[in-house]
Amino acid sequence: MSDSFKIMLVDDQQMANFINKKLIEITQLATDVVDYTLPEKALVELEEHQPDIIFLDLNMPKISGWEFLDSLTQSHNTTKVVIVTSSTSELDKQKAQNYIQVVDFLIKPLTKNTMLSLKSKLRSAS
C-alpha cells in the first residue's frame, strides 16, 4: 500500500459520508477522501480523481449503486469498489459478485473494526 491512498465516497446521504470519512480518518485507511451525494456527478469526475477505491451505496435515487457499477463496466473502468449498504438482503450480496470491481460487501453501520479489517485485506491484496 502506497503512502497516498485515495477513496471516493458515493452515498446520497451526506451524513453517511460524514461518518465514513471520520472512520477513514480514525483508522488511517486513506490519506485522501472525496465524497459525493450525487452518483452521476461522481461518475463524471471519476477520471479526474482516479481514486484507489470507491465506497458505494446501493439505495440511491436517480442512479442506484447497480447502475453506477453498470456504468463502470461499460466504460471498462476497473476501479475497486466496496459496497456499503444498509440492505441486509442476501440477494444483493449475490448480485454484487457479478461485478469484477466489487472487492467487498459491507453492511452499515460501518465500525472501526470493519474499517481495520478492510485495511488489512487491502494491504495484503496489494
Partner 1 sequence: MNLAAAKYRIAYEAFSKFSGSLSRVDNLEDLSTVVSKNLKYLFNFKIFRIILLDKDTVTGYTFIKNEIWAHKNQEDILDYEKKLLQDQIPFSYAISSEELPGYINHVPLKNGQLWGWYLPYTNYKVCVSLIADDQTQFSYSDVDILHLLVDTLTSKYRQICLNQEIILKNKRLEEAVGQIALKNKEIEQINSNQQNVIELRTRELRFKNKKILELSRLNAHNLREPLCRILGLLEIADYYDEQGLRNEILPKLCESSLELDAIFKNVVAKSEKEIEYYGKTIGNNDE
Residue number with CB closer to partner 1 (16 or 83) = 16
Look up residue 54 and give its three cell numbers: 470507491
- What is the enclosing helix (H) or strand (E) of 69? helix 65-74
Binding-site size for partner 1 (CB under 8 A) equals 18
Q: Does 110 engage in binding with partner 1 (CB under 8 A)?
A: yes
Q: Does 79 engage in binding with partner 1 (CB under 8 A)?
A: no
Do residues 57 and 65 touch, judged by C-beta distance below 8 A? Answer: yes
Residue number with CB closer to partner 1 (24 or 43) = 24
Query: How far apart, in whole angstroms, are the C-alpha atoms of residue 16 and residue 9?
Result: 9
Task: Pick the binder of partner 1 from 28, 41, 75, 112 (CB under 8 A).
Answer: 112
Q: Does 16 engage in binding with partner 1 (CB under 8 A)?
A: yes
Q: Please count the other Cβ atoms lying within 10 Å of the Cβ belonging to residue 126.
A: 10
Stretch that binds partner 1, among 32-40, 65-73, 81-89, 97-105 (CB under 8 A): 81-89
Do residues 34 and 8 touch, judged by C-beta distance below 8 A? Answer: yes
Q: At its nearest, how many Å lie between partner 1 and the CB of residue 77?
A: 28
Do residues 121 and 101 touch, judged by C-beta distance below 8 A? Answer: no
Q: At its nearest, how many Å lie between partner 1 and the CB of residue 26?
A: 6
